[in-house]
Amino acid sequence: MGGVTGIRTDERASERRARVGLTWLAEPGDAVLGREIERVGPVGVLERISAQDPDLPGRRNYAVRLPRADIDACLEAVDSCGGRVVIPGDGEWPTQLDDLGPARPIALFVRGHDLRLAAVRSVAVVGARAATAYGVTVAADLAAALADAGWAVVSGGAYGVDAAAHRGALSASGPTVAVLACGLDVVYPRGHASLLEQVATAGTLISELPPGMHPTRSRFLQRNRMIAALTRGTVVVEAAMRSGALNTAGHAAELGRPVLGVPGPVTSAASAGVHRLFRETGAQVVVDAAQVIEALGLIGELAPEPSVPRRVTDGLDPVALRVFDALPARRPLPLSEVAVAAGLDPVLVGGALSRLGVLGLVISGDRGWQLAHR
Q: Point out which residues bind its own copies (CB under 8 A).
A: 25-27, 58, 60-65, 68, 134, 137-138, 216-218, 241-242, 262-267, 271-272, 275-276, 278-279, 284-285, 287-288, 291, 306-309, 311, 313, 321-322, 325-326, 339-340, 342-348
Least separation in angstroms between residue 74's CB and its own copies is 15
**Nearest-approach distance from CB 36 to its own copies, in angstroms:** 16
Q: Are 233 and 258 contacting, i.e. CB atoms less than 8 angstroms apart?
A: yes
Q: Give whichever of 193 and 287 is closer to its own copies, judged by the CB atom.
A: 287
Q: Report angle CA 211, 219, 269 to the nearest 5 degrees.
A: 130
Closer to its own copies by Cβ: residue 62 or 151: 62
User: Toward its own copies, which CB reaches closer, 163 or 292?
Assistant: 292
Find the shortest distance in angstroms from Cβ 120 to its own copies: 27
* Nearer to its own copies (CB atom), residue 147 or residue 295: 295
The minimum distance between CB 105 and its own copies, in angstroms, equals 15
- Cα gap 212→197, rounded to integer Å: 17
Task: Give the full edge-to-edge strand order of the sheet including 108-112.
Answer: 84-86, 108-112, 204-207, 176-179, 152-155, 122-127, 234-237, 259-262, 284-285
Residue ranges with strand state E in the chain: 84-86, 108-112, 122-127, 152-155, 176-179, 204-207, 234-237, 259-262, 284-285, 362-365, 368-371
CB of 180 to its own copies, least distance (A): 16
Q: Which of 134, 131, 130, 129 is nearest to 265 (CA)?
A: 134
Nearer to its own copies, 103 or 339 (CB): 339
Residue 322 C-beta: closest distance to its own copies, Å: 6
What is the maximal distance between C-alpha atoms in the chain? Answer: 108
Is the bond into 189 cis (omega within 30 degrees of 0)? yes
Considering the complex, state which of residue 111 and residue 275 has its C-beta at the smaller distance from its own copies: 275
Angle at 13 between CA 8 and CA 18, to 5 degrees: 125
